[in-house]
Amino acid sequence: MKKNIFLLLPLLVLLIALGLDRLFTLEFFQYYYSNTLSHLNFISKEDLYSDLKEYLKKDPATRKKTLVFFGNSRALLLPTRELEKKHPDWVLYNFSVPGGSPDYFLYWIEKFQSDGIRPDFVLLDQSLEIYNKTPVLALDEVLIHGLSSEFILRHWTKYSREELSVYISKHLFHTYRDRPKLWRISERMQNSSALAKVYKAAVQEILTLLKEEKGSTPRALVNQKHTDEQLVQASETDFYSYLKPYTFHTNMFEMQKDSIHILKEYNVPYATIWVRVARPYFNLYVTRKVETSEGLKTPMEVWKPIVEKFNQETGTTFWNMNEDPNYNCEEFADPGHMSPNCFPVFGDYIFKKLEETFPKTQTK
């Protein structure tokens, strides 16, 4: 037995490494090295879900109708409190997160199903980028911050080997996930940890605001508008980052289908939405041919027929903001994100389409 004790050394090294990893990534230390606040959108959704559950326990005759929006960063700035005043029959719970994708939507909808949660209406994002399996710049925030191990185990066949590798490695080693920089730690330790305290205060402020805005990021925190020339240049960069080449992610679309099938089974009204992007970026969707599994095609030529066929087969309502002449707010922070100035208009568009598509007698 003693002769074989050396075989335990790799396990011992792993356990020590994991222990140090968890120690260095405790919340206290994160204030000294973290350089992002986007993960707070994921953290806040647990409280948002608890709030939604409590609200839906009320008598439907005495409460407002609930709209749950599953989107990505293009919907983060919807002004929930402002929209509630303009549309007093409804309350919006914004479950949108950076990089929001169908697996994240399914994660929550399965949770709704398990807990018997039935919102009055559900809106699901249906953009091109979330269905590209081979982007140059991969978005893995949902995989890292948004899904439980139990969910991954149940749906592991829907993920590629690379995606599973990312999930396992970044959940096993948080230092690999967070990539702490020694220079930043040193910088934040100076002047009695002044910068670390600033970051800690920012975290607490953002979590409070996300709770108050029912999942939305306040527009006051984002003040940005690109010129037409900047949008043209940035559109080229974004297109090559997210849409070239374009390999349709069939498994991700299957998870979107699963969400919709659950909603239909439980008779929860729903729609899908393609949030508007800047016109130079949209034009590249339509005109720029890229490598696909079907040869050289535009991303639109791949994505749109699949979505339209599914919509027709299932009777799914599709709110196409990019080709709707009635939507005309054209200020953009970057090619894929509207300026904060457009979000009140965006919100009005949602409620107008909601009332047109599902009259009050159907949503209550």
Q: What is the pLDDT of residue 364?
A: 45
- The domain total for the chain is 1
Tokens 């959940």 appear where?
A: 171
Q: What is the pLDDT of residue 228?
A: 83
Virtual torsion, Cα 90, 308, 108, 332, nearest 10 deg:
-60
> Does residue 162 lie in a domain region?
yes
Q: Phi, psi (5° rounding) for residue 19? A: -65, -45
Q: How confident is the model at residue 16 (pLDDT cuts 50, 70, 90)?
A: confident
- Which of 221 and 33 is assigned the larger pLDDT? 33
* CATH number of the CATH domain containing 19: 3.40.50.1110
Q: What is the pLDDT of residue 314?
A: 93
> Does residue 364 lie in a domain region?
no
> Does residue 3 lie in a domain region?
no
> Does residue 203 lie in a domain region?
yes
pLDDT at 280 over 60: yes
Is residue 43 within 8 Å of residue 67, measured between CB atoms? no
Q: What is the pLDDT of residue 243?
A: 96
Token couple for 168: 């396992």
Residues 6+ apart with CB under 8 A from 328: none
Q: What is the mean pLDDT of residues 86-110?
A: 96
C-alpha–C-alpha distance, residues 292 and 5, integer Å: 53
> Does residue 5 lie in a domain region?
no
pLDDT at 240 over 80: yes
Q: What is the pLDDT of residues 105-159, one digit of tens each?
A: 999 999 999 999 999 999 999 999 999 999 998 888 999 999 999 999 999 999 9
Q: Measured between alpha carbons, how far is residue 60 from residues 66, 89, 363 in Å?
A: 10, 12, 11
- Which of 22 and 68 is assigned the larger pLDDT? 68
> How many residues are listed for the chain in this entry?
364
Q: Biggest alpha carbon distance in the chain?
A: 78
pLDDT at 2 over 70: no
Q: What is the pLDDT of residue 97?
A: 96
The reported pTM is 0.91
Q: What is the pLDDT of residues 289-321, one digit of tens each?
A: 999 999 999 999 999 999 999 999 999 999 999
Q: What is the pLDDT of residue 1?
A: 52
pLDDT at 361 over 50: no
C-alpha–C-alpha distance, residues 108 and 234, integer Å: 33
- Of 194-203, 212-221, 237-246, minimum mean pLDDT range: 212-221
Q: What is the pLDDT of residue 109?
A: 97
- Of 67-81, 214-228, 332-346, minimum mean pLDDT range: 214-228
Q: Measured between alpha carbons, how far is residue 95 from residues 71, 146, 160, 269, 329 in Å?
A: 7, 11, 25, 17, 23
> Does residue 353 lie in a domain region?
yes
Q: At what angle do helices 279-287 and 228-242 cross, to 10 degrees?
A: 40
Residues of the domain holding 200 = 12-357
Q: What is the pLDDT of residues 318-351, one digit of tens each?
A: 999 999 998 989 999 999 999 999 999 999 999 9
> Does residue 7 lie in a domain region?
no
Q: What is the pLDDT of residue 222?
A: 66
The gap from C-alpha 138 to its chain's centroid, in whole angstroms, comes to 14
> Does residue 110 lie in a domain region?
yes
Q: What is the pLDDT of residue 21?
A: 66
Strand, helix or coil at 227? coil
Q: What is the pLDDT of residue 362?
A: 46
Cβ atoms within 10 A of the Cβ of 222, count?
14
- Which of 134 and 180 is assigned the larger pLDDT? 134
Q: What is the mean pLDDT of residues 258-286?
A: 96
Question: Closest by alpha carbon to 103, among 142, 64, 60?
Answer: 142
